[in-house]
Amino acid sequence: MLITDALLGEHAVFYLFLGHIEQALPALDSLSSIQHRFAAFAFALEAHAGLEDELLFNALEPHLGVQGGPLAVMRFEHNQIVDLFRKIESAADLDSARDFARQLFPIVRRHFQKEEQVLFQMAARFLSEDELSTLGAHCAKRRTPLVGLDLP
Ligand SMILES: [Fe+2]
Ligand SMILES: [Fe+2]
């Protein structure tokens, strides 16, 4: 599988989780219930961003450069997202956790859309199908301990 298809498939699941958490948010009436809602989502999204950065962004660096280009923007947004997860985890009260959550939703959606509409298209242009599928295999291998697949 091409790494871009694997990452797109993960985005599809994250969109579902985002919608689910967003809908539940107004009814969550304690700080710990909000923090609890975000814990698994944050863990999975950070793993997604980490793999994306390590495998796809690193492979695109020779073509797109590191400073000031789309990779710098994507990495900045990954940091912004992780920073908001940390703020939700350590929020002092319910209202501030809710505010951080409301800031997070559009940032994640816009980030995904930029990857889907711009970055993954660049990957298809600058990397060969072979490279994309080798990266896809690395991606699946790195997931093995987490999802229990038994890959060769
Ligand atoms: Fe990303
Ligand atoms: Fe992504």
Is residue 152 in some structural domain?
Answer: no
Give the Å distance between the CA of 49 and the centre of ligand 1.
5
Region 43-55: mean pLDDT is 96
Please give the distance of CA 34 from its chain centroid, rounded to a whole number.
19
pLDDT of residue 50: 96
Task: Give the confidence band of 149 by pLDDT, cuts at 50, 70, 90.
Answer: low
- Which of 100, 86, 105, 9 lies closest to 43, judged by CA? 86
Is residue 84 in some structural domain?
Answer: yes
Two tokens at 57?
């962004």
Looking at every residue in the chain, the average pLDDT score rounds to 94
Is residue 85 in some structural domain?
Answer: yes
Is residue 19 in some structural domain?
Answer: yes
User: How many domains does one find in the chain?
Assistant: 1
**Ligand found nearest the CA of 71:** 1
pLDDT of residue 68: 86
7 compared with 146, residue with greater pLDDT? 7
**Contact residues for 77 (Cβ-Cβ < 8 A; gap 6+):** 107, 111, 114
Give the Å distance between the CA of 61 and the centre of ligand 1.
15
What pTM, to 2 d.p., does this model score?
0.93
Task: State the Cα angle at 135 between 133 and 139, rounded to 5°.
Answer: 110
103 pLDDT exceeds 70? yes
DSSP string covering 69-107: SHHHHHHHHHHHHHHHHHHHHT-SSHHHHHHHHHHHHHH
146 pLDDT exceeds 70? no
Give the Å distance between the CA of 11 and the centre of ligand 2.
6
Q: What is the CATH number of the domain that holds 23?
A: 1.20.120
**Ligand found nearest the CA of 14:** 2
Residue 77 structural domain: 3-147
pLDDT of residue 87: 98
Give the Å distance between the CA of 97 and the centre of ligand 1.
23
